[in-house]
């Protein structure tokens, strides 16, 4: 046993093996069953030790009240039932704590736009403190699926299209939830999901399958999961989709050979919601018994709510489809996480905690700061932002102008609209003295008021229900009616600042041309209104850079920066280059793009070292040549120019966020090691091939200073 594995502790191993030796077959099966009460709460199931975990425990589900939220008293009461069971194995209470609990932070895609994993770590840590105070000990986050198609609604829940950035965010969020030690009562067990390839969803349709080559699977989609495992994540969730024809919940090669064999993962895997049962719909199992055998043998240790394991494991053991060794192994994995989570020592939650831990002023203040750091300034003609007192009468208009709960975003089941200051009120509070704000949520009223205003802030975008699970779209334009709004207001001829609230990149090509400034605020969370006011009026600068490519038109997707060159790239001579005849090839905004309230110049790319001696460093000087202090995300890309397989035209290998005063210059250095250049070839082997490599130190994925080296 490798002693440096974060999930292997001698005292834990001793405890769980001893416990296993005392368990009956039924009790073992019980640990693999995640229970959700539907209409009727089966207390006996818990008393008999036939449920290893509960999902969404709440008064409404147990019949103790009407609240659908979890609370410490409900969880403690259920835990008492677990302690009436023969072996007193504690319950593990699971719930989706995705981008905050009561203090709701920006959606995960927005968090990635901060290019600041440390902020994401802090947000997860606050969410963990809040959620555990209500008895929850396990969250189904982070979602670390790579997403290259913004039609897919769940693009909102991940870190976007890039593997390197995705790995940084995955590790940070796991660390934030789990802390130094999962057993701390204020930490949650994390769950990296959805293993693996879920974002491939053909046509952007959630739950749909897809195909991935072995190199793309290993180099693009698997690394964020590996990063989560290396960060010590306790659990993983299997995905709904079928990948290359094999449903993820039945994929033994990926769940067992890769995850456990190659990466040494010692935690447990839970299925997604009924995804064991859904193997029947996939057409790989005839009934729940077969589905249970397939999923379990593949390496899914716990069945989320379908009860296929509970009802069929015994028969599968009898028939030999599942062995007792396999069952023991799965139970040990589940008990290991329960032990590491401190549940045997601290099964109950202190009832006084939630009053203290939920919605702390410092948490809200942090949420406001984080939201500002996630907002991406896409256009700022004539430096119209931040707004000065030259604009005394400002109209704020659009269907989302009074957004309240809508600011929270897609996965905020415990966020409360009443905790959110409506956008219009928050903007009023943030506006400097002497600036008059008026609001219009209806277009006729807005047109009338616009004539009497100095400037119009248009707030457009998506309702959060239009993004997230199964909220897929065929049209990435603004939701119906909104483009007409923008047309009508822009036709008046006053300066227009467009603010977009959304869970995905929207194809706002026309609106970007029309408006003087465009600020992408995503779904910014509980303090989104105040944060937006801070940015519009210059109390803070927008801190974000795009974690995903913005297409000009829906028909361009999938579109992502790290694509292959093709034999006829756009840069080639001649007519027959890769292109559309009705749309430029380039995206509207490239990955990594974003402006702020000052300007940066890049100069003097230089290198030190020699890759053939193991590593090479590249540096560049970045100067703030604008009038204000500001933060820049300096990005480092490479390209393997000639290899045995076609390689991406650029790949992100590093980034640094620096803050510079006006006139200040800073030298930024990136180190590159041989293994950073490795890639997977068709037979699954990782290789590093000699040759020429290009590098860029750049403000985004389509520009920058270019150099090269030879390996």
Q: Min. distance of Cβ 154 from ligand NOJ in angstroms? A: 8
Report angle CA 153, 413, 65 to the nearest 5 degrees.
145
To the nearest whole angstrom, how small is the minimum distance from the Cβ of residue 261 to ligand NOJ?
25
Binding mask of the shown chain, residues 222 to 261, with x at each position contacting ligand NOJ by CB under 6 A: ----------------------------------------
Cβ nearer to ligand NOJ, comparing 103 with 410:
410
Question: Residue with CB nearest ligand NOJ?
Answer: 140
466, 510, 464: which is closest to 486 by C-alpha?
510
Distance CA 324, CA 330 (A): 10
The nearer residue to ligand NOJ, 206 or 406, going by C-beta atoms, is 206
- Give the CA distances from residue 7 to residues 19, 216, 224, 338, 372, in Å, rounded to whole numbers and listed in that order: 18, 29, 18, 11, 36
Any contact of residue 140 with ligand NOJ (CB under 6 A)?
yes
Q: DSSP per residue over 62-109, as a string?
A: HTS-S--S--HHHHHHHHHHHTTSTT-PPPEEEE---SBSSSBPPPHH
Contact 414, 97 (CB under 8 A): yes
The answer to the question of residue 145 lying near ligand NOJ (CB under 6 A) is no
Q: How far is the CB of 96 from ligand NOJ (least distance, A)?
A: 5
Strands (E), 250-375: 268-270, 303-304
Here's the x/- map for ligand NOJ, 483-522, by CB under 6 A: it reads as: ----------------------------------------
Nearer to ligand NOJ, 55 or 119 (CB): 55
Residue number with CB closer to ligand NOJ (149 or 272): 272
> What is the Cα gyration radius of the chain?
26
**387 DSSP 8-state letter:** P
Q: Which is nearer to ligand NOJ, 140 or 366 (CB)?
A: 140
DSSP string of 37-66, one letter each residue: -BSB--HHHHHTT--SEEES--HHHHTS-S
Nearer to ligand NOJ, 147 or 440 (CB): 147
Distance of closest approach, residue 54 Cβ to ligand NOJ, in angstroms:
12
679 binds ligand NOJ (CB under 6 A): no
Shortest reach from residue 643's CB to ligand NOJ, in Å: 36
Query: Which residues have C-beta within 8 Å of that of residue 421, sequence separation ≥ 6?
Result: 404, 429, 529, 530
Distance CA 317, CA 401 (A): 59
Q: Which of 96, 272, 301, 414 is catalytic?
A: 272
Tokens of residue 616, six digits = 């090479």
Nearest to 457 by CA among 391, 358, 413, 523: 391
**Shortest approach of ligand NOJ to residue 469 CB, angstroms?**
6
Nearer to ligand NOJ, 273 or 561 (CB): 273
| Angle between the N-to-C axes of helices 443-451 and 482-490, in degrees from 0 to 180, rounded to the nearest 10 | 20
The side-by-side arrangement of strands in the sheet containing 191-195 is 191-195, 235-238, 268-270
Under rule CB under 6 A, how many of the chain's residues touch ligand NOJ?
Answer: 6
* Residue number, 115 or 411, with CB nearest to ligand NOJ: 411
Please say if 272 is a catalytic residue: yes
**Contact call for residue 273 and ligand NOJ (CB under 6 A):** yes
Quick check: 219 and 252 in contact, CB under 8 A? no
With binding defined as CB under 6 A, does residue 138 bind ligand NOJ?
no
Build a one-symbol-per-residue string for 692-711: x at contacts with ligand NOJ by CB under 6 A, - elsewhere. --------------------
Q: Which of 27, 96, 357, 406 binds ligand NOJ (CB under 6 A)?
A: 96
User: Which residue, 105 or 273, has its beta carbon nearer to ligand NOJ?
Assistant: 273
In three-state secondary structure terms, 300 is: coil
What are the E-state strand segments in 277-390?
Answer: 303-304, 376-380
Cβ at position 239, least distance to ligand NOJ in Å: 8
- For the segment 457-486, give every residue that binds ligand NOJ (CB under 6 A): 469
Q: Using the CB atoms, write b or e for 200-211: b if 16+ within 10 Å.
A: bbeebbbbbbbe
Binding mask 322-361 for ligand NOJ (x = CB under 6 A): ----------------------------------------
Residue 431 to residue 422: CA distance in whole angstroms: 14
Query: Which of 518, 517, 489 shows the shortest CA–CA distance to 506?
Result: 518
List beta partners, residue 459: 499
Q: Which is nearer to ligand NOJ, 273 or 696 (CB)?
A: 273
Which residues, 6 or more positions from 685, have their beta carbon under 8 angstroms from its beta carbon?
Answer: none
Min. distance of Cβ 277 from ligand NOJ in angstroms? Answer: 13
Q: How far is the CB of 309 from ligand NOJ (least distance, A)?
A: 17
Query: Which of 149, 272, 534, 651 is in the footprint of ligand NOJ by CB under 6 A?
Result: 272
Place of tokens 């929270």: 408
* Cβ-based neighbours of 3, under 8 Å, separated by 6 or more: none
Report the first-to-last Cα separation within the chain, whole angstroms.
36
* Residue 193 binds to ligand NOJ (criterion: CB under 6 A): yes
CB atoms within 10 A of CB 674: 14
- If the CB atoms of residues 39 and 574 are measured against ligand NOJ, the closer one turns out to be 39
Interaction of residue 152 with ligand NOJ, rule CB under 6 A: no
Give the three-class secondary structure for 520. Answer: strand
Q: Which residues are catalytic?
A: 272
Using CB under 6 A as the criterion, which residues of the chain lie in contact with ligand NOJ when the complex forms? 96, 140, 193, 272-273, 469
């Amino acid at each position: 046993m490798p002693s440096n594995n974060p999930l292997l502790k001698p005292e834990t191993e001793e405890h769980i093996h001893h416990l296993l030796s005392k368990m009956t077959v039924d009790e073992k099966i019980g640990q693999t069953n995640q229970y959700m009460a539907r209409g009727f709460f089966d207390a006996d199931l818990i008393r008999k030790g036939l449920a290893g975990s509960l999902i969404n425990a709440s008064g409404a589900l147990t019949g103790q009240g009407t609240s659908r939220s979890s609370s410490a008293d409900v969880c403690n009461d259920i835990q008492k039932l677990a302690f009436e069971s023969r072996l007193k194995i504690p319950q593990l209470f699971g719930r989706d704590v995705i981008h905050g609990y009561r203090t709701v932070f920006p959606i995960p895609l927005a968090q990635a736009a901060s290019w600041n994993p440390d902020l994401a770590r802090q947000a997860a840590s606050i969410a963990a403190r809040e959620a555990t105070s209500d008895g929850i000990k396990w969250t189904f986050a982070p979602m670390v699926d790579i997403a290259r198609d913004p039609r897919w609604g769940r693009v909102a829940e991940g870190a976007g299209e890039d593997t390197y950035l995705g790995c940084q965010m995955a590790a940070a969020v796991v660390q934030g939830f789990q802390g130094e030690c999962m057993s701390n009562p204020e930490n949650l067990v994390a769950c990296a999901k959805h293993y693996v390839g879920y974002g491939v969803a053909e046509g952007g349709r959630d739950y749909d399958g897809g195909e991935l080559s072995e190199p793309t699977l290993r180099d693009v989609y698997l690394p964020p999961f590996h990063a989560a495992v290396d960060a010590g994540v306790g659990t993983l969730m299997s995905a709904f989709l079928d990948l290359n024809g094999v449903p993820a919940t039945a994929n033994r090669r990926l769940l067992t050979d890769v995850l456990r064999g190659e990466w040494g993962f010692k935690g447990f895997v839970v299925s997604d919601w009924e995804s064991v049962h859904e193997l029947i719909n996939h057409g790989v199992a005839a009934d729940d018994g077969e589905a249970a055998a397939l999923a379990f043998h593949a390496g899914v240790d716990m069945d989320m709510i379908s009860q296929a394991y509970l009802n069929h494991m015994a028969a599968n053991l009898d028939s030999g489809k599942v062995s007792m060794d396999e069952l023991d192994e799965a139970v040990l994995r589940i008990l290991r996480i329960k032990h590491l989570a401190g549940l045997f020592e601290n099964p109950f939650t202190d009832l006084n905690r939630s009053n203290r831990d939920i919605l702390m002023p410092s948490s809200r203040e942090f949420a406001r700061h984080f939201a500002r750091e996630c907002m991406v300034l896409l256009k700022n003609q004539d430096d119209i932002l931040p707004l000065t007192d030259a604009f005394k009468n400002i109209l704020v208009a659009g269907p989302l102008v009074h957004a309240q709960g809508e600011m929270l975003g897609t996965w905020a089941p415990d966020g409360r609209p009443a905790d959110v200051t409506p956008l219009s009120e928050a903007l009023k509070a943030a506006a400097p003295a002497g600036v008059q704000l008026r609001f219009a949520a209806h277009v006729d009223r807005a047109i009338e008021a616009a004539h009497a205003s100095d400037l119009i802030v248009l707030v457009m975008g998506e309702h959060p229900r239009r993004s997230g699970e199964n909220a897929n779209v065929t049209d990435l334009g603004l939701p119906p009616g909104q483009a007409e709004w923008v047309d009508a207001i822009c036709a008046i001829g006053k300066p227009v600042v467009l603010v977009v609230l959304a869970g995905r990149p929207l194809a706002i090509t026309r609106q970007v041309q029309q408006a003087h400034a465009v600020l992408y605020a995503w779904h910014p969370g509980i303090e989104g209104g105040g944060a937006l006011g801070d940015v519009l009026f210059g109390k803070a600068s927008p801190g974000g850079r795009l974690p995903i490519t913005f297409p000009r038109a829906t028909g361009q997707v999938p579109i992502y920066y790290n694509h292959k060159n093709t034999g006829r790239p756009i840069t080639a001579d001649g007519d027959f280059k890769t292109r559309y005849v009705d749309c430029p090839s380039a995206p509207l905004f490239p990955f990594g793009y974003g402006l702020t309230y000052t300007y940066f110049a890049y100069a003097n790319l230089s290198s030190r070292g020699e890759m053939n001696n193991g590593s090479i460093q590249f540096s560049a000087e970045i100067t703030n040549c604008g009038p204000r202090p500001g933060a820049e995300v300096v990005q480092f890309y490479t390209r393997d120019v000639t290899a045995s397989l076609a390689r991406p035209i650029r790949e992100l290998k590093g980034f640094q966020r620096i803050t510079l005063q006006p006139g200040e210059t800073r030298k930024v250095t990136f180190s590159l090691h041989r293994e950073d250049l490795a890639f997977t070839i068709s037979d699954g082997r990782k290789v590093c091939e000699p040759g020429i490599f290009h590098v860029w130190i750049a403000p985004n994925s389509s520009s920058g200073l270019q150099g090269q080296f030879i390996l």
